[in-house]
Amino acid sequence: MSACACDAGEPFATVSPRLEAGVAVPEGRDAGMGWQRLASSYELRFTELSITAGDAVLIDTAEAIGFDPRMPPPGYSLCHNGHCHSDDGRLVSYEEIGAELAGGAGAVWVLALPVGMMDVLAGVSRPLACEPSCDLPLASITQVTMPVTRVRARGLVRDGRAPARIAGEVPWQLELELELELAGGPGEPLMLGGSLELAADRSHAPDVALTLELRPSSRIFDQVVWDQLELVPDSGPAMEPGFDLLGDAAAVSAVLAGLGELELGVEVTR
């Protein structure tokens, strides 16, 4: 450590973290009046969207995982969002790959930011607390991960294709407890990730504003095959028939795939 004696006791950086979340409308998907186009030619509107997450964790990745995600190790490619694509088709987390490789030291997390429930449809903009402290030790933080534990969504779906595959506007709902297999979830949280460059050392200004951004859109539902879902009686908010995605394994799998593509945006300013 090369710190001057007169700096002894001062943190290498102090983080002021914030969370921003809201429904995004990607280019080409705005169908007007709150509707968004899907790649499947259906159109979807949210009436409720909340996502619950655990602690977002900032990780000193270079030390933690034993490899640089920009240069995937043999057998892996396309490393992003905290995972790499393996040659056999799996999505494998950085931590698992680091554990497989010789010299992987395990996760070295520097800072945890409790997130909790986000009313994404209403929009979120709030500061976050730090665990153990917003004061950082000497570190080179290049990765952030955030486990999503619950997704609750409701809305309407209609067909934008002619001839229509479903009739009119159909209510739908999804209540996914990702940590509970019995509740239709995969049995473990969905890990989102993002990349950043945050050096906590004597070479950089110590005060750091850090903003985590989550902007889900209709993309999450691109792979759902709506016309193959069963209409469930009394599932809509007005006790009308609708789609309960949790009751269809293929739909849950499609949504999980869509959620897995969500990017956790990170902005760092100092």
Partner 1 sequence: MKFASTINLTMSICAAAAALLGSGCSDEHMDEPAAESQSADACEHMVDGPFEAVSATIDAGEAGPALTETHTRYTIALSADPADPGSRIGYVDVVVDEPGELSVYLDAPVPLSVTAPSGDELAAEASEDSIAECIEVAMSHTYDVTVGTYRVRLGPTDREEASLVLITAGHGHE
Q: Given the rule CB under 8 A, which residues bind partner 1? A: 26-29, 37-41, 77-78, 80-81, 85, 160-163, 194-195, 219, 222, 261, 263, 265
The angle formed by the CA atoms of residues 247, 253 and 254, to the nearest 5 degrees, is 105
Chain-centroid distance of CA 202 in Å reads 32
Q: Among residues 51 and 196, whose Cβ is nearest to partner 1?
A: 196
Helix (H, G, I), strand (E, B), or coil: what is residue 250?
Answer: helix
* In the complex, least distance from residue 82 CB atom to partner 1, rounded to whole angstroms: 11
d(CA 167, CA 149): 33
Q: Among residues 52 and 93, whose Cβ is nearest to partner 1?
A: 93
* In the complex, least distance from residue 53 CB atom to partner 1, rounded to whole angstroms: 18
Residue-wise burial string across 225-256, b where 16 or more C-beta atoms lie within 10 A, e elsewhere: ebeebeebeebbeeeeebbbbbebeebbebbb
Please count the other Cβ atoms lying within 10 Å of the Cβ belonging to residue 133: 11
* In the complex, least distance from residue 183 CB atom to partner 1, rounded to whole angstroms: 27
Is residue 212 a contact partner of residue 19, using CB atoms and an 8 Å limit?
Answer: yes
Helix (H, G, I), strand (E, B), or coil: what is residue 232?
Answer: strand
Q: Among residues 134 and 255, whose Cβ is nearest to partner 1?
A: 255
* In the complex, least distance from residue 159 CB atom to partner 1, rounded to whole angstroms: 9
* In the complex, least distance from residue 219 CB atom to partner 1, rounded to whole angstroms: 7
Provide CB contacts within 8 A for 103, sequence distance 6+.
66
User: What tokens appear for 93 in the block?
Assistant: 């987390």
Looking up tokens 């090369």, which residue turns up? Answer: 2
The angle formed by the CA atoms of residues 142, 146 and 149, to the nearest 5 degrees, is 170
* In the complex, least distance from residue 195 CB atom to partner 1, rounded to whole angstroms: 5
CA contacts within 13 A on the Cβ side of 241:
8
* In the complex, least distance from residue 217 CB atom to partner 1, rounded to whole angstroms: 10
Q: Among residues 153 and 262, whose Cβ is nearest to partner 1?
A: 262
* In the complex, least distance from residue 6 CB atom to partner 1, rounded to whole angstroms: 38
Q: Considering only CA atoms, which of 31, 12, 93, 61 is closest in space to residue 218?
A: 31
Strands (E), 60-138: 76-80, 83-86, 91-93, 109-119, 124-127, 135-136
Q: Among residues 25 and 99, whose Cβ is nearest to partner 1?
A: 25
